[in-house]
Amino acid sequence: MKPVNHKAWFLVAPVLLLVAISAIIPLMTVVNYSVQYVGSTGRFAWVGDEWYREVLHSEKFWNALWRNLVFSGVILAIQIPLGVLIALNMPRKGWGVPTCLVLMALPLLIPWYVVGMIWQMFGRVDIGLMGVMLRDFGYNYEGDPMDAWFTLILMDVWHWTSLVALLAYAGLVSIPDAYYQAARIDGASKWAVFRFIQLPRLGRVLTIAILLRFMDSFMIFTEPFAVIAGGDPVFLSTELKQTVELGKKAAMSIIYFLIILAVSWVFYAVMTRNDGEPTSADKARGGGA
Amino acid sequence: MKQSRFAWIVPALYILFLMTPIYWLVAMSFKTNVEITTRFTLLPEALTLDNYAKVFGDERWRSVFANSLMYVSLNTLISLAVALPAAYAFSRYKFFGDKHLFFWLLTNRMAPAAVFALPFFQLYYKFGLFDTHIAVALAHCLFNVPLAVWILEGFMSGVPREIDETAYVDGHSFPSFFTRIFMPLIASGIGVAAFFCFMFSWVEYLIADALSRNAVVPITTRLQALSQASGTDWGVLAAAGSLTLIPGAIVIWFVRNYIAKGFALGRV
């Protein structure tokens, strides 16, 4: 057990100070704006929850929220199984391991705006490799919203599937060999090994992957902005950026932030669930993750 | 476990899919604009370095690269400096409100940048820091400090507490123990945390863009301004875009075994 030491606060103080400036003051300004009306002369007037009601009755807000949820749902449905499939087939030893890790991680380290730019250059029907190839099938992401959706989803799969694959791979290599030996003795099929050994042991990393991918896709702004410059589909962050009235913008920010806060709580619960448990207990517990 | 003989096909196809758009960008950077806009060529017909010459020869391009690297490095330094003691406190002690604080840090890592862009602008404008490197560096601390604390805490918790106790018995003071004994022990953790701070500050666009105007234009802001203007110089954009891949490509080798751990905030 960790000793209780309230003096540890001194060690945390710098972080607290810095993040307070970075987070609390801006957040308070947003709260402040969200309950007031700012006139053209810069005068403030108290309006209570009016902005919140306006946001919650705004069709644009709900549309953006739904689009965001659909987007997150679709990319999770593609990236999670695809990531696991790739991780299962990645080499376990030899030169293939570092090659796979390095090449797969590459998209994760590209500035987000450049990711969008790459896909713009790749997808444009006049100069893009994919755009020119698909042009004859009527593909044009600048004109057709469905094609824009297709491009954005493909881009996100390209950008982030590696994260799922790398997390799943880290989970897979940590499975002790004894499990597989036991399965071989039982004559378990490949599917049985996956279903009853690998998948349960991957439970924790996959939960982390799902939450991370949900969060980041729920906040997506830069990559679609680079590809379609604020056109359709409009996601929540885009809608927020395009809202002009300060009060409405602030109220929308707060609602947005509360949704994120709720998901963060789930995330926190998952992340710290196994903290502080000795690893031997983890092993002794058997197949369940 | 034995994999099928053809297992390699899956990652190979996936890597092919990853490399194709990157190839297109890099190939484009070696083409002339005439070739890009009028002919569809898989390989550059006449390999030209003109686009790179234009990027390196232009003071404005050089300065945006320098600006980005400057605030990213500043941010990495600040984040690590404040995160190291805090992570130690979280990994070693229980104290009043520790769990709440740890959770609150996480919420900042998860906060949408779009929510913070405007209030950040107003805050730093009021302090007279708008359009400075330090403003962007401090603003990026919003998500990088929590990230660094979580990653470092993960690594520190792997170091047995007996080491601390022995050092104190041997007469080390806290600062001397921390810098001479403890930090070398978690050197790889510090490296991983530094890498992820560097990376998340490097890839971020919205906040960096909101906090800069003339003096500190980040590389992505310039790319944005030029790529959405009419009469785009695709060759130069592709060259500058290709150059932004290099920092990531260089450091990736050193952290290849820790990438999953870093993205999972030190929890895998």
**pLDDT higher than 50, residue B71:** yes
Rounded to an integer, what distance in angstroms lies between the CA atom of residue B202 and that of residue B68? Answer: 7
Question: For the structural domain made of B58-263, what CATH number should be given?
Answer: 1.10.3720.10
To test the contact with chain B by mutation, choose from A6, A117, A265 the residue with the greatest count of B C-beta atoms within 10 A, namely A117
Question: Sign (positive/negative) of CA torsion B225, B228, B233, B236?
Answer: positive
Residues with Cβ within 8 Å of A142's Cβ and at least 6 positions away in sequence, in order, are: A124, A125, A148, A228, A231
CA closest to B94 among chain A residues: A4
CA closest to B43 among chain A residues: A129
Q: Is A37 helix (H, G, I), strand (E, B) or coil?
A: strand
Find residue A4's DSSP bridge partners: B94
The pLDDT of residue A275: 56
The pLDDT of residue B227: 82
**pLDDT higher than 80, residue A15:** yes
Mean pLDDT of A6-22: 88
Partner residue facing A11 (CB), from B10, B88, B219: B88
Query: Is the pLDDT higher at B180 or at A270?
Result: B180
**What DSSP character marks residue A234?**
P
How far B209 CA sits from the closest chain A CA (Å)?
A: 11
Mean pLDDT of A264-280: 68
The two three-digit tokens of residue B80, written as one number: 């690590």
**pLDDT higher than 50, residue A286:** no
The two three-digit tokens of residue A167, written as one number: 């997390």
Contact B83 A15 (CB under 8 A): yes
**pLDDT higher than 50, residue B252:** yes
Residues of B in contact with A169 (CB under 8 A): 260
What's the mean pLDDT when you consider all of chain B?
Answer: 90
pLDDT band at A284; cut points 50, 70, 90: very low
Query: Is the pLDDT higher at B13 or at B105?
Result: B13
**What DSSP character marks residue A34?**
H
Taking only Cα atoms into account, the Rg of chain B, rounded to an integer number of angstroms, comes to 23
Tens of pLDDT, residue by residue over A109-164, are: 999 999 999 999 999 998 899 999 999 898 988 888 889 999 999 999 999 999 99
Whole-complex ipTM: 0.91
The pLDDT of residue A260: 86
**pLDDT higher than 90, residue B266:** no
Cα distances (Å, whole numbers) of residue B254 to A66, A134, B25, B128:
40, 39, 25, 38
The two three-digit tokens of residue A237, written as one number: 């962050």
How far A211 CA sits from the closest chain B CA (Å)?
A: 10
pLDDT band at B159; cut points 50, 70, 90: very high
**Is the backbone of residue A42 left (phi > 0), alpha (psi -120 to 50) or beta?**
left
**pLDDT higher than 80, residue A278:** no
How far A141 CA sits from the closest chain B CA (Å)?
A: 15
**Which element (helix H / strand E) includes A282?**
helix A279-284
**pLDDT higher than 60, residue B139:** yes
Is-contact B244 B184, C-beta < 8 A?
no
Q: Are strands A44-46 and A36-38 parallel, antiparallel or unpaired?
A: antiparallel
The pLDDT of residue B261: 83
The fold for domain A58-284 equals MetI-like fold (1.10.3720)
Residues of B in contact with A256 (CB under 8 A): 112, 114-115
The two three-digit tokens of residue B255, written as one number: 């952290």
Could you tell me what percent of chain B has a pLDDT over 90? Answer: 63
CA closest to A259 among chain B residues: B111
Could you tell me which of B221, B223, B219, B216 has the C-alpha nearest to residue B206?
Answer: B221
Where do the domains of chain A lie? 58-284
Mean pLDDT of A13-32: 88
Tens of pLDDT, residue by residue over B191-240, are: 999 999 999 999 999 999 999 988 899 999 999 988 877 778 999 999 99
Taking only Cα atoms into account, the Rg of chain A, rounded to an integer number of angstroms, comes to 24
Length of chain A: 289
**pLDDT higher than 70, residue B182:** yes
Where do the domains of chain B lie? 1-48, 58-263
Residue with tokens 């709720």: A262
Mean pLDDT of A169-180: 90
Compute, in degrees rounded to 10, the torsion defined by CA atoms B119, B120, B125, B126: 60
Contact B112 A257 (CB under 8 A): yes
Tens of pLDDT, residue by residue over A181-221, are: 999 999 889 899 999 999 988 988 898 899 889 988 999 99
Contact B17 A158 (CB under 8 A): yes
Rounded to an integer, what distance in angstroms lies between the CA atom of residue A230 and that of residue A260? Answer: 22
CA angle A84, A117, B252 (to 5 degrees): 50
Contact A267 B110 (CB under 8 A): yes
The pLDDT of residue A19: 86
Q: Count residue pairs from A and B with Cβ separation < 8 A.
A: 292
Residues of B in contact with A122 (CB under 8 A): 20-21, 24-25
The pLDDT of residue A274: 64
CA closest to A201 among chain B residues: B268
Class of residue B173 by CB neighbours under 10 A (exposed 0-12, middle 13-18, buried 19+): exposed
Least confidently predicted of A216-220, A240-244, B145-149, B177-181 = A240-244
How far B171 CA sits from the closest chain A CA (Å)?
A: 20
Partner residue facing A267 (CB), from B83, B106, B249: B106
Contact A25 B123 (CB under 8 A): yes
Rounded to an integer, what distance in angstroms lies between the CA atom of residue A23 and that of residue A137? Answer: 48
Query: Is the pLDDT higher at B17 or at A145?
Result: B17
